[in-house]
Structure 1
Amino acid sequence: MPCLTLAPPIEVLLVDDQRAILAGVRALIESEGEAMRVSGCATTGGQALDLARSLNPDVIVLDVDLGDEDGLALIPQLNRACSASIIVFTCHCDTATLQRALALGAARLVTKTAPGEDLLAAIVEAAEASA
């Protein structure tokens, strides 16, 4: 009889300055059961970097606008802090934002207006790509 082992959950770090967005995305991820889990939430760039270093998540979901901070400018720092794939999650769906995010090292961009399934699929794809 084969031995079945369950894959560990995809560990996700959420970075957004809006607590309502953090709560909504956390609930969405938690609806996936044991396939993925939120390992931490940050509302500032400094918190994001500290959590990325200490938690070493599989995927980081990063907002472009973190109050007075440029979320995209964090991408290279986050890439140095841990091995996570970064998904930019934003209202800004223009070509310039997408090109800048990808040039800085993001794996994907998902708009906040997209269905939740799009974000979940992007998390799975990003985790598989970095595995």
Structure 2
Amino acid sequence: MQQSPDTIRVFLADDHRVTLWGLQRLIDSTSPRMRVIGSATTRSELLCHHAVGDADVVLLDLDLGGESSADVLHNLQHLCRGHVLVLTAADDPEQHRAVVMKGARGVVHKSEPADAVLRAIEKVSAGEVWLQGALLGDVLGLLTGHGTPAGPAHGSDASRIASLTAREREIVAAMLQLTGAKLFAVAENLAMSEHTLRNHLTTIYSKLQVHGRLELHVYATAHGLGAMAH
């Protein structure tokens, strides 16, 4: 199969083999724009598959074999360099908000036309988000404190920001400047390994009380952290 360095590598996770077959035919038909590099039908198969780590986008069904796949989003953030795009037949806005807050970069409904699925994959691969207007508004409201809070806040924003070291502030600034970049590219820009960057981000997320890159981006932008390293 023809492939270029810019080919978007997609991993599929869905417990319906007919759906997997259809998605693979759809995605591979765009080659060399994108191609499927692997698939899984259960959560355990997904987390153990060797190809997951190479994916630019994991297209993840929320229901895998009767089990919620929302609980594996945290694991996927460590296993995969790319981003997760949730594919669902559910019409539950609360469930959609929850998976985005857990790290998914977008939600696409199974009723969407084929070209919308392909556009969503491209957007998420580029580090952007794919959310419908109402869902995007809800998520941004939660992240900026204007929606229903996910949990109690501890300490003021000023004290959270003050707890960051100079290196951590530099990392936050780099994450804002390289919003669409994959972590290994950000790490290279910062002259550190991807593993070291992930460790720093875990500490930063804890100090700022955010969950993942999307939430960090919104919080840091709202508080002007992009220029703090300069």
User: TM-score, length-normalised on structure 2?
Assistant: 0.52
Displacement of 1:68: 2.5
Identity over aligned residues, as a percent? Answer: 33
Unaligned runs of 5+ in 2: 128-179, 182-230
Higher relative contact order, chain-length normalized (CA < 8 Å, sep 6+): 1
User: What letter is aligned with 1:51?
Assistant: H
Greater Rg over alpha carbons, structure: 2
Describe how 1:1-131 pairs up with structure 2 within 5 A.
7-51=5-49, 55-129=53-127, 130-131=180-181
Shift in CA distance, 21/53, structure 1 to aligned 2, threshold 3 Å: closer
Shift in CA distance, 54/114, structure 1 to aligned 2, threshold 3 Å: closer
**Alignment: residue pair count:** 126
Unaligned runs of 5+ in 1: 1-5
- Greater fraction of residues in strand: 1
Can you list the C-alpha shifts for 1:85-113, whole angstroms capped at 9, x where unaligned? Answer: 10000101321111011011000000000
User: TM-score, length-normalised on structure 1?
Assistant: 0.89
Moved more, 46-55 or 100-109: 46-55
CA distance in 1, matches of 2:105, 2:20: 20
- Give the root-mean-square deviation of aligned CA atoms: 1.5
Identify the residue that residue 3 of structure 1 maps to in structure 2: none
Q: Determine helix, strand or coil for the equivalent of 1:113.
A: coil
Shift in CA distance, 7/54, structure 1 to aligned 2, threshold 3 Å: closer
